[in-house]
Amino acid sequence: MTEPIGIYLHIPFCLSRCLYCDFVSSTGDDGELSAYVDRLILEINSFDTGGARVKVDSIFFGGGTPSRLSFSQLGRILDAVRAKFEVLADCETTVEVNPATYSEGYFDRLHSLGVNRLSIGLQSIHENELRALGRRHTYSDFLECFASARQAGFDNISVDIMLGIPHQTEASLEATLSELIRLAPEHISAYMLIIEEGTPFAKMKDTLALPNESQERKMYFDTDNRLISADYCHYEVSNFSKRGYESRHNLKYWTLTDYIGFGPSAHSCYLGKRFYNTSDIHAYMTEDFGNIRFTECDGAYGEDEYIMLKLRTVYGFEFEDFRRRFGYDFREGREDELSDLELFQLAFITDRGITLTPQGFFLSNSAIVKLLK
């Protein structure tokens, strides 16, 4: 294997649970967090790379709330990764941050560990919207956190916002976007709220003051227009960046490059195999790793996965690459579907390949399903 891989580290602990969230996380105390760090390091140490000293060019601490980790806990985990893998000098190392966990001096110390990218969860600048989501922080917490990160020398910061959330209006979203553009983070993720089964929002669904479908659609395109006019590139369905600041880590998922995930619910794609860990934190802490890691698929990506993942980004795919992998011309037997996508301006199709348009991104699932055989 020549291409460097990505490492994902799941930190399943939060201060409290946001009402819309279905990620694997708990509100465990500091003692549980400390035991978890030991277990995560054990998993990294015991991972069988197949004898190779594997090159790594992205490390991503996601969660959960990785910024609940202390400086020394983060350092120990990074040491374990560096001992097991060959971490390249220019490795993109990201930590997700909840502004509610921010404390003075934290970012200086993080920077000194080699962390060079932060992903801060803002969601909205409006207190009523933040409260409705169950977020623990205020907008002023975020501003303090962002300024302190800049001061510590972070020149690659991503900020998450959400669209289609309770109480959001086109005007309130516009204010959130204006503030973001003023602050000029290098990367912005704009996620549409999805009400997931099993979350408090699923139970409250009928009482939530949610925007309707056409307002949601308008919010998506307003976001697209505003950010593009501020020099951001809309490079993936929900992601925007300044040139050269695309998330190296997330691109691995969409471009079918290998990655290894550690921690409960983490997924991996490594040496032609895909596997994932149990979501059960207790089982993760107590069972043999061999018993809590499950095979998802043995073998290369299939046609459907290739199409679904590749079309999530503006890079799409080239017909020649598809032919090399699957042995036939992608356009064969899809003539009607492709001409419909062009007619409705959902895709750009050239002699070389295909990508979705912003309209195609918005309808990505239904646009892509048309192309699956």
Residue 14 binds ligand SF4, judged by CB under 6 A: yes
Q: Is 191 near ligand SF4 (CB under 6 A)? A: no
Binding of ligand SF4 by 131 (CB under 6 A):
no
Q: Which stretch binds ligand SF4 (CB under 6 A): 63-71, 138-146, 336-344, 347-355?
A: 63-71
Token pair listed for 69: 């980790």
Q: Tell whether residue 64 is a contact of ligand SF4 (CB under 6 A).
A: yes
Distance separating alpha carbons of residues 262 and 146, to the nearest angstrom: 28
Among residues 65 and 364, whose Cβ is nearest to ligand SF4? 65
CB of 99 to ligand SF4, least distance (A): 10
Q: C-beta of 340: minimal distance to ligand SF4 in Å?
A: 37
18 near ligand SF4, rule: CB under 6 A = yes
19 binds ligand SF4 (CB under 6 A): no
CB-based burial label for 288 (10 Å; 0-12, 13-18, 19+): exposed
CB of 79 to ligand SF4, least distance (A): 25
Q: Which stretch binds ligand SF4 (CB under 6 A): 14-22, 110-118, 171-179, 246-254?
A: 14-22
Report the amino acid identity of residue 66. Answer: P
Interface with ligand SF4, residue 315, by CB under 6 A: no
Counting other chains too, the contacts that 176-185 makes at CB distance below 8 Å and 24 or more residues apart are: 176/122, 176/124, 176/125, 176/126, 177/222, 177/223, 177/226, 177/227, 178/226, 179/125, 180/122, 181/226, 181/227, 181/230, 183/146, 183/159, 185/120, 185/146, 185/157, 185/158, 185/159
Residues in contact with 88: Cβ distance below 8 Å, sequence separation at least 6, in sequence order: 4, 55, 56, 57
Sheet architecture: strand order including 353-356:
317-318, 353-356, 347-349
- Residues in contact with ligand SF4, total (CB under 6 A)? 10
Q: Is 95 an interacting residue with respect to ligand SF4 (CB under 6 A)?
A: no
Q: Which residue, 279 or 355, has its beta carbon nearer to ligand SF4?
A: 279
Residue 26 or 257 having the CB closest to ligand SF4: 26
* Residue 23 binds ligand SF4 (CB under 6 A): yes
Minimum distance between the CB of residue 22 and ligand SF4, rounded to whole angstroms? Answer: 8
Convert residues 228-267 into a mask of x (bound to ligand SF4 by CB under 6 A) and - (unbound): ----------------------------------------
Using CB under 6 A, pick the residue from 58, 65, 94, 199 that binds ligand SF4: 65
Interacting residues toward ligand SF4 by CB under 6 A: 14, 17-18, 21, 23, 25, 63-65, 98
